[in-house]
Amino acid sequence: MAPYLLIFFLFTNIASSLLSEEEPVAIVFRFQQYLNTTSSFLSEKETVAIISRFQQYLQIDTAHPNPNYSLSTAFILSLAQAIGLESETLEFVEGKPVVILKWPGKKTHLSSILLSSHTDIVPSENQKWVHPPLSAHIDHNGDIYARGSQDMKCVGLQYLEAIKRLKINGFEPVRTVYLSFVPDEEIGGKDGTGALVNSKNFEEMNVGVVLDEGVASPDENYRVSYGERSLWWLVIKAVGSPGHGSKLYDKSAMENLQKSLESVWSFRASQFDLVKSGLKKEWEVISVNPVFLKAGMPSPTGFVMNVQPSEAEAGFDIRVPPHADSTSLERRIEEEWAPASRNMTFQFKDKFPTVDKFGNPAFTATDASNSWWTLFEEAVKKAHGNLAEPEIFLGGSDARYFRERNLPVIAFSPISNTPILHHHHNEFLNKEEYLKGIKVYESIIKTFASFDEPIKEGE
């Protein structure tokens, strides 16, 4: 901190304390709080440059269905070069670059640290935003409006800014630190992280722990996830004899589908009731939500109104916690939701396992048995952050690919006092919150990269 700022702080606070008869110890406490604010560790010039880089990244259009990965890749590589990181760009699928950055550690025999992020974002309904979703507009409160400001371009850039500061301050990692900037997380991630974890490149990285995206917290406590509900995208199809719109008969396609919908809705209500009653948290139950209905014969003006269709379909987004009985759910789908006896069939558009490759529930330990978790808690505390109770991530992320390989993954975004706006209109992140997150990652990366004890047998 510049000396004149220290003098100004002490002068103004001592003067106010004389007027209010405040104890000196209170002045010291408030001075410590001031030191912990984001602006106190950055000059005004640094702050402007950091926020400008964040805005530039947010302004790159990587929204589906046509993400501009070439531009985002060039941007990330330019930052990596400026910081002095090694880089490699992989393409397991043409046109879908996986950028890997490397900060070599002094003890290469130890497992490495992977800071994972994705470059793609979901599309936006532009007319429903107060500021254009690719503008990265900063309002009078310092809120930066942009798609990806929370999910998750913020985290990717915070990794880089934190490493830049560590390098400036002369820190040298014991363990190698990798950063990944991957495509397609928002559409399943199979051509990004899914391809990476199954590659020889990943094997050679010798990853021991992964940091991945989390979610914003409306209060002062950072949210952190140790697992996630597995994504099952289910489509059920009903068939039946077509008929005139005026005719009443049994087992039409629409009737068969309606019975299935009633069964699904009953199960959904039973799970939701557990949450409403307080018996379980939302991430502890199986969620089932209908996402589309498809039936009827199209016509130039809509649908043919006097013909009962011979086929009807419905799609569902299902999320299954790692501790849930997935076998029982599969049996329910086959016997109740889409029974063959009612001319029903089903298929999964996507389905991720709830267990790792060893058959164990796919989650990361959050106790003393996991050294990385202990280090993580210590690092956040050093950065003057508070953690909420660890939870299961409600949605899905690339973290599942790592957990399937039995790797510890901590899903964390240092965003507090901010409404959760992933995939919502008017997604934003306050610039002070963004800057504070850099300080948090600086602490985490330094703590992880300094840990020189073997974690796994054989390291």
Give the tens place of pLDDT for each residue, 137-175: 999 999 999 999 999 999 999 999 999 999 999 999 999
Active site residues: 120, 185
The pLDDT of residue 165: 97
* Cα distance between residue 61 and residue 81, in whole Å: 22
DSSP state of 368: T
For 100, the 3-state DSSP assignment is: strand
Structure tokens at 357: 């490759």
For 260, the 3-state DSSP assignment is: helix
Structure tokens at 307: 């013909």
317 is in an annotated binding site: no
If pLDDT is split at 50, 70 and 90, which confidence band does 358 have? confident
64 is in an annotated binding site: no
Q: Where are the domains positioned within the chain?
A: 3-35, 44-228+361-450, 231-320+324-351
The pLDDT of residue 176: 98
CATH number of 231-320+324-351: 3.30.70.360
* Cα distance between residue 131 and residue 427, in whole Å: 10
Asked if 444 and 381 touch (Cβ cutoff 8 Å), the reply is no
If pLDDT is split at 50, 70 and 90, which confidence band does 33 have? very low
Query: Which is nearest to 445 in space by CA: 406, 416, 414, 421?
Result: 414
Conformation bin of residue 40: beta by default, left when phi > 0, alpha when psi is -120 to 50: alpha
In the predicted model, is pLDDT for residue 194 greater than 60? yes
Cα dihedral 146/409/65/347 (nearest 10):
-140
The pLDDT of residue 211: 98
The pLDDT of residue 190: 95
Q: Which residues contact 371 (CB under 8 A, 6 or more apart)?
A: 451, 453, 455
Structure tokens at 275: 């949450």
* Cα distance between residue 420 and residue 1, in whole Å: 33
> Maximum CA pair distance of the chain?
89
Q: Which parts of 229-379 are beta strand (E)?
A: 230-239, 243-244, 287-295, 298-299, 302-303, 307-308, 311-320, 344-351
140 is in an annotated binding site: no
* Cα distance between residue 391 and residue 227, in whole Å: 7
Q: Which residues contact 103 (CB under 8 A, 6 or more apart)?
A: 85, 86, 163, 173, 176, 177, 178, 179, 449
pLDDT digits (tens, 9 = 90+) for 367-379: 999 999 999 999 9
Asked if 254 and 293 touch (Cβ cutoff 8 Å), the reply is no
If pLDDT is split at 50, 70 and 90, which confidence band does 268 have? very high
Higher per-residue confidence, 185 vs 355: 185
Q: Which of 37-51, 66-80, 241-255, 395-409 has the lowest mean pLDDT?
A: 37-51
The pLDDT of residue 456: 52
Residue 424 burial class via C-beta count within 10 angstroms: exposed 0-12, middle 13-18, buried 19 and up? middle
Cα dihedral 131/136/137/139 (nearest 10):
100
Higher per-residue confidence, 242 vs 203: 203
Asked if 441 and 240 touch (Cβ cutoff 8 Å), the reply is no
Query: What average pLDDT score do residues 92-118 get?
Result: 98
186 is in an annotated binding site: yes
Asked if 421 and 150 touch (Cβ cutoff 8 Å), the reply is yes
If pLDDT is split at 50, 70 and 90, which confidence band does 1 have? very low
Percentage of residues in the chain with pLDDT exceeding 90? 83
In the predicted model, is pLDDT for residue 113 greater than 90? yes
Which fold, 44-228+361-450? Aminopeptidase (3.40.630)
336 is in an annotated binding site: no
In the predicted model, is pLDDT for residue 259 greater than 80? yes
In the predicted model, is pLDDT for residue 17 greater than 50? no
For 366, the 3-state DSSP assignment is: coil
* Cα distance between residue 130 and residue 132, in whole Å: 7
* Cα distance between residue 45 and residue 116, in whole Å: 28
**Which residue(s) pair with 138 in the sheet?**
144
* Cα distance between residue 326 and residue 329, in whole Å: 5
The pLDDT of residue 201: 98
If pLDDT is split at 50, 70 and 90, which confidence band does 249 have? confident
Give, in order, the Cα–Cα distances in Å from 357 to each of 188, 361, 364, 407. 19, 10, 14, 10
For 182, the 3-state DSSP assignment is: strand
Render 117-146 in DSSP notation, one character per residue. Answer: EE--B----GGGSSS-TTS-EE-TT-EEE-
Asked whether the bond before 173 is cis by omega within 30 degrees of 0, the reply is no
In the predicted model, is pLDDT for residue 23 greater than 80? no
Asked if 312 and 294 touch (Cβ cutoff 8 Å), the reply is yes
